[in-house]
Structure 1
């Protein structure tokens, strides 16, 4: 049995620390997944997710990782035409891999890593072909880039495409106004900015996306949006859901919406990011991302000679789990996650420890 004192402070871009009060919500007694109690729980969660996301769209909950709902979006929202995947990092690449694995006609708009696509770049690419959908990554965890969805959605819509957004490390930490920005599928997990346990994924799904699903064959079984909607309208899922996390999510959403306020939560993430970026500059280090599109949930730092592997080991001795660079940047970058329920004092203490270990 692992003692609680043995757990490290997770300064990684997910899973993040889960507060004790949130963890305790998973100790509630089990309920029947076809009961009125389950439906009431489900419906309250859906209502609060709509509030948090500023949407009236259908809410879908899936006992899966977010990657599962990415596959669902691809299978339900891409029919006969191509799908355009905007790739500016390792996780944005996942969209194209999912498309290819599901037999979709996949096209890629490659953007330099560390940058975000511009409306002009997107428009030029959209003029080259006929697309059913455009896939964007709201927050690229590997590079610390936040895609400015508010600047891009009109370009997508002017070209009669569905807009599918991976918001895995952005939802709950970055501004997102689903209806105003006409986002057709906005999907994410709970283990990052929402600060809960992994195991449940969320998507808001527009009427246009559901209409596309009606015309699209081979939607699969587990991730069929139409089947999911049918059950969700009854406050249920087609298969047995991860009920303990439902309790957790209901509790957390009431905290986010009713107590902290989602716009205040966005502002807190902005504050933590600003402090972190100022610290990076003060240490004569540099951001991997262009500052204009730097993420408010995770900062990617060029290591500039810092032995990243040694720093990770040293921080572990201090009680922290440290995030190296991702993939090909594992040894040349490191990442500072400032997401979820993080406070400014916690970020300051962590950065001070890094400073002491690298000075």
Structure 2
């Protein structure tokens, strides 16, 4: 089992743009309004929006009471719990020298434009704060394009397989521990609509099983299927799959596994030994070494287990411990994809090599450090 370090998830959204006119409150929110633009003279909202289309710019106007002399207003635009964009503005930089005037409020404006069309649904919100204190969470909705047909689930069933047309094969609600479980169905799916399947193992979501797709055209009675088996197989018990259409649940199926897979749920790692390897020139572990040199740009580490186990909830943390002129810091982290194995590999790419000094690799499971391997770069 191997893990490599990759960049953090990059969402295809541009940063929100913030602006402010006159200025604001003693900390009190007066109004939050989504709109299709701002007035040029005072940046107040115009054309109030009930929803946005997938390719439209999202405009948010925050109206605060009065003209504060200081304060930072920040907005985070969220898709469910994923950050799309954020921006902030310090009202003091604009309000400096402005004489307080009764009856005048402050409008702080934000706008966000996505690089790709936003998925349809009511899964969005803006979290707005003033000096770090919540002003509110403001939801908004993305409506289907004008040319999209209405989306609707027509049918869904659990099965042990699916044919080339995505139709279910051997429909059932009972499975063996090593069975891949299929959820097959059909629906009328409009442009920009999306389906997502989430699998729950003994009541807990297994993120490895979450899959989704978005429609790039209108299709009626289009077949589809999702399939999943957890790393190590299904444990005995009752499990579930939830199907969402545009962020709303449209199907929820339960199924049972009477005899669990032998390795299912056995996540305790019993460590045996650890090793360091120089790269073989092809991105794989080569010669075993006791330390690395400044010329090494691909560093490999391996932990051997005394027995096979399901490596779940495991993370590697590469740490700079002691280097001249540098503070101790985390260089990179990587989550290990859950799988059954008797060894766990990790690799770190340093394009120009690491400077001489002392380093450490932490092997972490469920937030607890199982082992820490110290090494040097010479």
Q: TM-score if structure 1 supplies the norm length?
A: 0.24
Name the structure where helix makes up a greater proportion of residues: 1
- TM-score using structure 2 length: 0.23
Q: Which structure has more strand as a fraction of its residues?
A: 2
Task: Give 1 or 2 for the bigger CA radius of gyration.
Answer: 2
- Larger relative contact order (Cα-Cα within 8 Å, sequence gap ≥ 6): 1
